[in-house]
Amino acid sequence: MKSSVLLALLFAGIQAGAQTKESRVVVDASDPKTRINRNIYGHFSEHLGHCIYGGYWVGEDSPIPNTNGIRNDVVAALKRIKVPVLRWPGGCFADEYHWMDGIGPRSKRPSMINTHWGGVTEDNSFGTHEFLELCRQLDCEPYICGNVGSGTVQEFSQWVEYVNSDNISPMTEARKKNGREKSWGVKYWGIGNESWGCGGNMRPEYYADLAKQFGTYARNFGEHKVFKIASGKYGDDYNWTEVLMREARQHFSGLSYHYYAFSDGKPAAEFDEQGWFNVLNTTMKIDEYLTKQCAVMDKYDPEKKVALIVDEWGTWHGVEPGTNPGFLYQQNTLRDAVASACNLNIFNNHCDRVRMANIAQTVNVLQAMALTEGEKMVLTPTYHVFDLFKVHHDALWLPTKVESPDYVQGKDKLQAVNCSASLDSTGRVHVSLANLDPGNAQKLSCSFVKFSPVRATGQVITATAMNAHNTFDRPHVVEPKTFSDFKVRGEGLEASLPPMSVVVLEVEGKLESKEGKK
Ligand code: AHR
């Protein structure tokens, strides 16, 4: 029997023996004041594998339908989830990228070796103009990461000038010659990437000085004020954050932070229940790490002026068999969908400090939204989570309290249910829930403070197998479905969350202001 069939039977068995446990959620609508910045739903795309080339860029002469060289199917799919901001060109690639090689006639652009990712030749056919055209088509904010590791202050400063200035200068003249009359006005600029690692292996003290130096010369032009993002740390290292905040916080508006949930190196769909548990367990640790990173930032910046920008996050599995190990091409299963729902709930719940997050890496790399092969494209389970969660974009965050049984795996355990909630501009409350337990449904009672529900609708993402995923041949295996296993009862709502599921409820009702019912 094939191992995939065995795994499917095993997972179906887990569901067949499913029990129902009880969870409680309280959503507090008494004083909504912090907004969930829509940029928490941002993306990251690097010159890595087939993210840029093949994923977005096919060139104007391609038989794949495209607009100005950028494939139409990918753009249409990403528009549906309202991608708010896109980080580019890396990643590690950013610190070896020389932007001037990526402007002007494509046939004249020099090539380079992409030493970080597969050692392939990068012909620079996708550069600044192409990236900003992509952002125009997506209707999203660009976020450009500059080269601090192997670039110069002058190069960085001229990039900002080329993109943002409307004065007369050699940079703006070059831009006009290359077909763009007016400045684009890019707001978000990164001062290097992982400067403690692939971006130069620096000490925080040394990088703090460079962040000040590079930041100083990233000028504001006219009405275009730059939002500078310093390179931050990974995981549970707090000293980098401490030094940056102490030494240089006046010189940037955001400090970045990276975190990946690595699995055991096997391809994304090859795992058992231990593998399911491990990835979710690693995912959930970001909650504690963010709390502690924020506490360090609070020490120096109690008014929370500096944003924490989680500009790389996601699951990281082994590559698909037969693909280039340097291309980080991975499938995406229900496990990734549940992991992304946990992450997004956590980011929502830290929205007072976390004002942008960028999942790695949109197309064909790591925890992607879409996979492509030639002219084919398939949407991943993670894409559908982003689709359901878009109701939180720019909504007012509502604090929640969760009581849920543990999901126990051997000697380890995790809280089975997590959630976040928000109030949108039309007065609707959205509650997004993840049930991490693959063996047990959750009988959920959800109550509200200062909000009386009247009616609700819901959507659910689940499957009969933990490793369920979409392929080019079977693209609809994991997709949102209407969720009707709930009732509005009295002042609350009762629902049954299926095992291993993501549920988003939309609740209409009456908001009670502090003065009384509205
Ligand atoms: O997303 C892949 C890589 O992970 C990025 O290039 C780097 O910043 C991180 O280590």
Decide: 92 in ligand 1 pocket, CB within 6 A. yes
Quote the pLDDT of residue 20. 82
Looking at 114-224, list the stretches that DSSP marks H as alpha helix, in order from N- to C-terminal side: 128-138, 153-164, 170-177, 204-216
**54 Cβ inside 6 Å of ligand 1:** no
Protein residue with its CA nearest to atom 3 in ligand 1: 91
Distance 91 CA to ligand 1 centre (A): 5
Nearest residue (CA) to ligand 1, atom 8: 91
CA 314 to ligand 1: nearest atom? 1
Looking at residue 5, its pLDDT comes to 43
Ligand 1 within 6 A of 314 CB?
Answer: no
Q: Is ligand 1 within 6 A of the CB of residue 387? A: no
Q: Is 247 a catalytic residue?
A: no
The pLDDT, as a whole number, for residue 490 is 86
Q: Among candidates 107, 183, 189, which has minimal Cα distance to 141?
A: 189
Atom of ligand 1 nearest to the CA of 91: 6
* Secondary structure element (H or E) that encloses residue 259, with its range: strand 254-267
Nearest Cα residue to atom 5 of ligand 1: 91
Q: Residue 467 Cα, ligand 1 centroid: separation in angstroms?
A: 25
194 lines ligand 1 (CB under 6 A): yes
**360 Cβ below 6 A of ligand 1:** yes
The tens place of each residue's pLDDT in the chain, 518 residues long, gives 444 444 444 344 344 556 788 999 999 999 999 999 999 999 999 999 999 999 999 999 999 999 999 999 999 999 999 999 999 999 999 999 999 999 999 999 999 999 999 999 999 999 999 999 999 999 999 999 999 999 999 999 999 999 999 999 999 999 999 999 999 999 999 999 999 999 999 999 999 999 999 999 999 999 999 999 999 999 999 999 999 999 999 999 999 999 999 999 999 999 999 999 999 999 999 999 999 999 999 999 999 999 999 999 999 999 999 999 999 999 999 999 999 999 999 999 999 999 999 999 999 999 999 999 999 999 999 999 999 999 999 999 999 999 999 999 999 999 999 999 999 999 999 999 999 999 999 999 999 999 999 999 999 999 999 999 999 999 999 999 999 999 999 889 999 999 999 999 999 999 986 554 44
346, HSE (Cβ side, Cα atoms, 13 Å)? 21
Q: What pLDDT does 515 receive? A: 55
Q: What are phi and psi of 201, to 5 degrees?
A: 50, 50
Radius of gyration (C-alpha) of the chain in whole angstroms: 23
Among 43, 44, 46, which residue has the most ligand 1 atoms within 8 Å of its CB, making it the best to mutate? 46
The whole-model pTM stands at 0.95
Cβ 311 under 6 angstroms from ligand 1: no
Catalytic residue among 312, 403, 494, 508: 312
Residue nearest to atom 2 of ligand 1 (CA): 91
Nearest to 446 by CA among 516, 363, 503: 503
Pocket test for ligand 1, best of 52, 88, 92, 231 (most atoms within 8 A of CB): 92
Q: In 3D, which of 129, 127, 32, 136 has the Cα closest to residue 89? A: 127
Cα of 193 from ligand 1 centre, angstroms: 9
C-alpha separations of 155 from 149, 171, 217, 388 in Å: 12, 11, 10, 41
Question: For residue 143, what are the contacts with CB-CB under 8 A and spacing of at least 6?
Answer: 42, 85, 86, 87, 88, 186, 188, 189, 190, 229, 311, 356, 358
Looking at residue 3, what is its pLDDT?
Answer: 40
pLDDT on residue 17: 56
Question: In angstroms, rounded to a whole number, what is the distance separating the alpha carbons of residues 25 and 493?
Answer: 10
Kindly name the residue from 46, 122, 194, 270 that is annotated as catalytic: 194
Give the pLDDT confidence score for residue 491 in this predicted structure: 87
Which alpha helices (DSSP H) does 254-375 contain, by range?
273-300, 334-349
DSSP state of 341: H
User: Does 312 participate in catalysis according to the annotation?
Assistant: yes
Whether residue 149 contacts residue 195, with contact meaning beta carbons closer than 8 Å, is answered with yes
